Amino acid sequence: MPDSWRARLRADPIPWLLELENPAIRYLTLRNLLDRPADDADVVTAQGAIPCYPPIAELLASQQPDGYWVKRDYYLPKHNGTFWVLCALGDVGLTAEHPQIQKSCEFMFTFQREQGPFCRRRRVSGRGIVWDTNPGPCTHARIVRFLIQFGYGDDPRVRAAIDWLLAAQRGDGMWDCGRPTRPGCLRATHDVLRVAALDPEAAAHPAVARGASVVCDLLMESGMSRYHVGISWTTLQWPPFDHSLVSTLDSLARLGCTANHPKMAHAVDWMLNRQLADGSWPLDETSDRPPFDPGPTGQPNKWVTLETLQALRLLLDRPQIKESPEQVNQ
């Protein structure tokens, strides 16, 4: 693939991303920005060093023997329980070839119901431990996403989970775990698109084209709280536990959307304008108690920079043909 996209940058941060200090960033840069093959010597070395990177090594060392973190309730505590840890680890280049990741994935599968959805079990007064009756599509989608990232994409359990997720779409093209009369949830819809961006079969489903069209039209709009999200489009966050402009652009680009759409073009221009003089992007916000420290806010950040470059490359190096997400599956 040509490197014309790099000419749009204020400076080239790739040498910074390739520094040995963070092998996960180095591995993902080699694979996703420089197109090095999986068997390239530098790629193999970098990937092999990821579990030894101190923040990741400390996180893996804190895993409980049965494969969970902190509590058997996979969701709690928020932002550093098992679910949140695996969401973050799915983005750093680890796979189920690592025995601790495999153990955690099998722990998560114990929460899958017969029809495919992942549900929590809660203690209810007078009833003991019971299953949730209304699984949330946002949490479910994130579980499916990290299972695909870890290598379970062809597992029948994951295929059933994807089928359930696609069938849960609302009539307005969005997903939501609340009342059908309220506006759809942008975070949940964003999470479903992130799954589809990793799975060709899901990407070809008509529900995904409808959802992508809705999200594309909402890009950069203000007043997003009505869509049940807590941050604005113009917040650079890592890990992206809320909806995220960068990860949304990445997903839409992988689903075939281009910068021909005016909202996409506006978002791309905004991202380019946020780039710092040294070529990096800053971290605006992170969650309280993240699984591991992504770095100080307000400073150049390798995680944000890598994620942003991956999205921009997909959009800036592609011929601008399609007019909107609705054309993706035609």
CA distance 186 to 205: 19
Average pLDDT over residues 91-108: 97
Domain-by-domain residue ranges, the chain?
Answer: 4-327
Q: What is the pLDDT of residues 40-74, one digit of tens each?
A: 999 999 999 999 999 999 999 999 999 999 999 99
Cα 71 to chain centroid distance, Å, stands at: 23
Average pLDDT over residues 229-247: 92
Mean pLDDT taken over the chain = 92
Residue percentage of the chain with pLDDT more than 90: 82
Token couple for 14 = 């790739």
Residue whose C-alpha is closest to residue 160's, from 201, 131, 107, 213: 201
What pLDDT score was predicted for residue 324? 40
The answer regarding whether domain 4-327 maps to CATH 2.60.40 reads: no
Alpha-carbon distance of 223 to 229, in angstroms, equals: 10
Q: Does the pTM of the predicted model rise above 0.85? A: yes
Q: What's the distance, CA 161 to chain centroid?
A: 17
Place of tokens 């978002």: 267
- Rounded Cα–Cα distance for residues 202 and 208 (Å): 7
Confidence of residue 109 (pLDDT cuts 50, 70, 90): very high
pLDDT(241) > 70: yes
Q: Compute the distance between CA of residue 194 and CA of residue 249 in angstroms, rounded to an integer.
A: 10
CB 144 within 8 A of CB 87: no
Residue 127 reports pLDDT greater than 90: no
3-state SS class at 237: strand
| 2 vs 182, residue with greater confidence | 182
Q: How confident is the model at residue 128 (pLDDT cuts 50, 70, 90)?
A: low
Interval 115-130 mean pLDDT? 77
Rounded mean pLDDT, 227-233: 89
Q: Pick the more confident residue, 283 or 223.
A: 283
> Which range (16-20, 61-65, 73-77, 96-100) has the least confidence?
73-77
- The two structure tokens encoding residue 259: 């910068």
Residue 186's pLDDT is what? 93
3-state secondary structure of 252: helix
The pLDDT confidence band at residue 136, using thresholds 50, 70 and 90, is confident
Q: Are 251 and 190 within 8 A, CB to CB?
A: yes
Give the model's pLDDT for residue 180: 75
Q: Are the C-beta atoms of residues 322 and 257 closer than 8 Å to each other?
A: yes
Which pLDDT value is given to residue 319?
A: 53
pLDDT of residue 302: 98
> Under a CB-based contact definition with an 8 Å cutoff, are residues 173 and 227 in contact?
no
Element (H, E) at 116: none
Identify the pLDDT of residue 327.
39
Q: State the burial class of residue 48 (Cβ atoms within 10 Å of its Cβ: 0-12, 13-18, 19+).
A: exposed
pLDDT of res. 129: 67
Predicted pLDDT at 321? 40
- Show the tokens assigned to 263: 């909202």
Helix, strand counts (H, E) of the chain: 14, 2
Among 74-88, 94-108, 310-324, which is the least confidently predicted range? 310-324
Looking at this protein, which amino acid is placed at residue 84? W
